[in-house]
Structure 1
Amino acid sequence: MLTAAELLRIIDIHGQVAEMGLDQAGVMKLVTQTTLELVAADGAVIEIAEGDSLSYRAASGTAVAQLGVKVALKASLSGECMRRAEALICTDSEADPRVDRAACRRVGLRSMVVVPLMHLGQPVGVLKAMSREVGHFGPRQAELLTLLARVVGTAMYWATHYGQDDLFQRATHDDLTGLANRAMFLEQLRGALQRARRTQQGLAVLMLDMDGLKSLNDNHGHSVGDAALVEFARRLKDTARSEDVVARLGGDEFAVLMPSISEAGGPAQFHRRLQEALVAPFDFRGACHLVEGSCGWALHPADGSSAEALIDCADQRMYASKRERKKGLADVPAGEPGA
């Protein structure tokens, strides 16, 4: 039986969810963070059904790096939970035939509990808690998370009932700039990589930092900093092709996915166009300010075959380019080794 303290904690979460209104992304993040505390989990995710797979839409703890990952409905404990619409417990991932063992090994989990998220009487996703320890979860944890999952199900109902289009926008896009968010970018990148492997085509990932944001915030206030982020995002979007995916990953960090690119010439041209677009200052409340950016890129398959490898390569080159520019050295093409 659950304790009074545990039940009061669930009631408190209900109150926090009610205050969030239609902010489904915020609700999902709150629930995954709360899951860590409630069942002493190492990681927690909310997976939403999309066709024949489940997509990680919110993550906390050790699962954060998996945000945007997709798992198959037919070959996972999450999929089994969806089909049966009931809580399921995996005591040991190495001995449970229902789980994707390779995926469990990649994230280092040995036990988990999965509960369905219900919407209008139908399962639309799952809440999953993970642990590195064998046998960490039992019926008590399953009961707690089942109560918690009802919070998400209720929030999803009201958000969908009153604003379905806004719900998708909030879950996949950055509120300030309107660009794709990190989860959406990772999902688009992984899908593009699958297509590139099938068609034998290349693609490019560009990582960008908007330089000088801290100085703008410190010297002129955060309203100016926000205006600069919006302006940088606008010019970045205007520079991109219609088929490119432009995203704000967080803070002053941006990314661009360029499909059907096989050589560095494409990203290099994009970078030159962006630098030209950033030359003119922007006006905010009668004062002129400059926006600048550093850029680095990576090509598939030359620089990596996974989303993580390409992002890391482009990120390293972007920071190398930033360091070279700060030192006043000769320009080094951001897409070349060492740049």
Structure 2
Amino acid sequence: MLSTSSVSTSLLTKQQLLCVITAQTEIIGNRFAPTRVMERMAELAADLTFASGAVVEVIEEDEMVYAAATGMARDKVGMRLKASTSLSGLCVQKNQVLNCTDARNDNRVDSVACEKVGLRSMLVVPLHADGHLLGVLKVFSSKTDAFDDVDVQILQLAATIIGAAVASSGTV
């Protein structure tokens, strides 16, 4: 259930909220497996933030693993990144939303790797289930400074849905 304390309807449009609610209803009605929920939420996050793609990364030991991906990263499911050298790993370490407005000028990211895949900006939010930190939900763009506060809210809603699905499946 959405509350006005967690979502400012003045920031999210009614159309964006309707998309989130529709996806949530679809997931609940079909009782999707957590992997399918991750895929659906990555698609929704990319669409609603006008991103070039989105990724759900899960923590496995000292690595971040692409569990679901869409857009430019669609063929990267299973890819592993060192948590210690990735923005996603830093998001997990700090347990906070991180916004990279320009990968060429941000020392928290591997600018050479970002250049190779055409990424200029990223927004990363922590992903929790039943009080456990599981990973992150990340959107990225080929444009600089592509994401704003509304995009943060969208990702947080999508991350909450993923967390609830994982928790209800008992895989935490």
Q: Which runs of 5+ in 1 are unaligned?
A: 168-339
> Given that residues 115 and 128 in structure 1 are in contact (C-alpha distance below 8 angstroms), is that contact kept between their aligned partners in structure 2?
yes
Separation in structure 2 between the aligned mates of residue 117 and residue 129 of structure 1, nearest angstrom: 13
Aligned position for 1:115: 125
Question: Which residue in the other structure is 2:28 paired with?
Answer: 18
Moved beyond 3 Å, runs of 4+: none
How many equivalent pairs are there?
Answer: 162
Write out aligned runs for 1:130-145 (5 A): 130-145=140-155
Work out whether residues 109 and 131 of structure 1, in 8 Å CA contact, stay in contact via their aligned partners in 2.
yes
Unpaired segments ≥5 residues, structure 2? 1-10
* Matched residue, 2:42: 32
Match among 90, 95, 101 for residue 105 of structure 2: 95
Query: Which protein shows a greater Rg?
Result: 1
Structure 1: which amino acid aligns with 2:111?
A: R
What SS does structure 1 have at the residue aligned with 2:126?
strand
Computed over aligned residues only, the root mean square deviation of the Cα atoms, in angstroms, reads 1.5
Match of 1:5 in 2: 15
Structure 1 residue corresponding to 2:165, chosen from 144, 155, 165: 155
Is 1:75 aligned to residue 85 of structure 2?
A: yes
CA shift at 1:22, angstroms?
4.9
State, as a whole percentage, how many aligned pairs show the same letter: 36
CA–CA separation in structure 2 for the residues paired with 1:144 and 1:85: 17
Q: Which residue identity is paired with 2:69? A: A
**Distance across 1 between alignment mates of 2:32 and 2:41:** 15
Supply the distance in 2 between the matched residues of 1:83 and 1:33 (Cα, whole angstroms).
Answer: 25
Distance, in Å, in 2 between the alignment partners of 1:136 and 1:157 is 31
- TM-score, normalization: structure 2? 0.88
Say whether the 8 Å CA contact 1:56–1:68 is kept in structure 2: yes
Letter in 2 for 1:11: I
Distance (whole Å) between structure 1 residues aligned to residue 79 and residue 115 of structure 2: 15
- TM-aligned CA deviation for residue 32 of structure 1: 1.2
* Other structure's SS at 1:94 match: helix
SS at match of 1:74: helix
The answer on whether the counterparts of 1:20 and 1:26 sit within 8 Å (CA) in structure 2 is: no
